[in-house]
Amino acid sequence: MLFKDIAILDENLDYQQHQWVGVLGDTIDYIGDDEPSDAAKYGEVYEGAGRLLMPAMYNAHTHAPMTLLRGYAENLPLHEWLQQKCWPFEGKMTGEDNYWATLLSCAEMARYGTVSFSDMYYHTPERARAVDESGLKANLCTSPLAFEPKPIQEFPIFAEMEDSIKNIDGMADGRIKFEGCIHAEYTNNDVTAKTVFDWAKEHNTRMHVHVSETEFEVAGCRERHDGLSPVQWLESLGAFDVPAIAAHCVWVDDEDIEILAKRGVTVAHNPASNMKLSSGFAPIVKMLEAGVNVALGTDGMASNNNHDLFQDMYLMAMLPKGTELDPTLITPKQAVFAATRAGAIAQGRDDCGLVKEGFRADLAVLDITGTSWCPINDMLTNVVYSSHGSDVVLTLCDGRVVYRDGSWPFIDIDMVKAEVVERTQRIQRELAEQVD
């Protein structure tokens, strides 16, 4: 594809008008002020008038199959939400339920300009199949909840981990990766967690873990582990000896932030989910000042209700201004970076997340002719504060169109929605019969 006379956010996230961008295979092959001399090799010419080409987004923390729980568990604090609603529902979910629910998440993310996501859940083969078919990318992990203090190798879930690292890590030409994971400190123990972290080091993979999401969690951790915070506990057991994503980090202190920065941990900031569950506000300003890589996540659809990462980008830029009473905090460029390049870095996708020659053609095209875009005094400001995921008209992942003008080339969206509705209703019936 050759984008003709289109506005772009360049490799520095600066606004450039009247550019030509050529995509060859899975790579951005050309960016320039003029039409390339060999324009014909790029195939289709995409007219750029009234459009903005920007890096596609990378969602750093999701539970994709939880689309089945959208609107199901509402108005509850985190631990009641988990124990009373989510865990009983999830206990009824089959592998095929996970497949269809993940496929719906992939469709929703592609619709809103996201091409890759870091997903913590179960039934990894079925999730991987959905990602592969959708054309998207994902870093998948299986999430152990281990209350009995024994090595991970003695739990049934270990077989799935071993199978996934052999057969799923690197599949779909590298679009799908598998990594280590524990759900959180409060759902694990020293013995199990340490063996998971050692397993990740042995296989040279990454880690994904919930960290310090609530004040209650941190207080409990300090009581269980001789005053250690979740960040300190994780570091003491070797969780950060490999590249890691720490999701949430709402209740971290200065010492925690210093550890996260020193160990190169990415914080997956989930502002919509944290607000919806009344968990609090992550101190992302302090994190950024300390040099922490802060990316964005939508979390699961029971705690956010949509995969529109533009919404979370808006909240990331907006919330610190209100909580810290300082309008200068979080620039538009910082927010866009978090939604794009920071997430790619978190996933180990070093050649992704920028509109730059030689990088992967992970691109989102926005229609900027709508009323909320007029006038454009500063493009980055409009992207952060005026845009919506619904402005996306084209999404490319590794140079392939995964969403365009209301259609998904690799997904039968009507079938997916029908399957998700039917499966959600079945599980709710099973839960009701169990109560009766």
Average pLDDT over residues 164-182: 97
Predicted pLDDT at 108: 98
What is the percent of the chain where pLDDT is above 90?
A: 96
Residue 44, pLDDT > 80, answer yes
- How far is it, in rounded angstroms, from Cα 133 to Cα 138? 12
And the tokens for 377? 């005094």
- Please report the pLDDT score of residue 82 as a whole number: 84
What's the CA gap between 421 and 134, in Å, rounded?
19
The DSSP result for 407-433, as a single string, is: B-TT--HHHHHHHHHHHHHHHHHHHHH
Q: Residue 159: is its pLDDT beyond 90?
A: yes
Question: Which segments within 135-239 are labelled E, that is strand?
Answer: 137-142, 176-181, 207-211
- Residue 435 reports pLDDT greater than 90: no
pLDDT of residue 78: 78
Same-fold call for 2-55+355-404 versus 58-346: no
- pLDDT tens digits along 286-307: 999 999 999 999 999 999 999 9
pLDDT at 196 over 90: yes
Record the pTM.
0.97
Average pLDDT over residues 86-111: 96
Q: Give the 3-state secondary structure of residue 393.
A: strand
Flag whether pLDDT at 239 surpasses 80: yes
Structure tokens at 434: 């169990």
Mean pLDDT of the region 25-33: 98
Average pLDDT over residues 145-157: 95
For residue 198, count other CB atoms closer than 10 A to its CB: 16
- Reading the block at residue 394, the tokens are 């084209």
pLDDT of 80: 87
pLDDT 10s digits, 252-278 = 999 999 999 999 999 999 999 999 999
The residue ranges of every structural domain in the chain are: 2-55+355-404, 58-346
Q: Check residue 63 and give its pLDDT.
A: 97
Q: Does domain 58-346 have CATH number 3.20.20.140?
A: yes
Query: Do the Cβ atoms of 386 and 367 come closer than 8 Å?
Result: no
The residue written with tokens 């014909």 in the block is: 40
Four-residue CA torsion sign, 281, 285, 288, 289: negative
- CATH class in words for 2-55+355-404: mainly beta
pLDDT of 87 strictly over 80:
yes
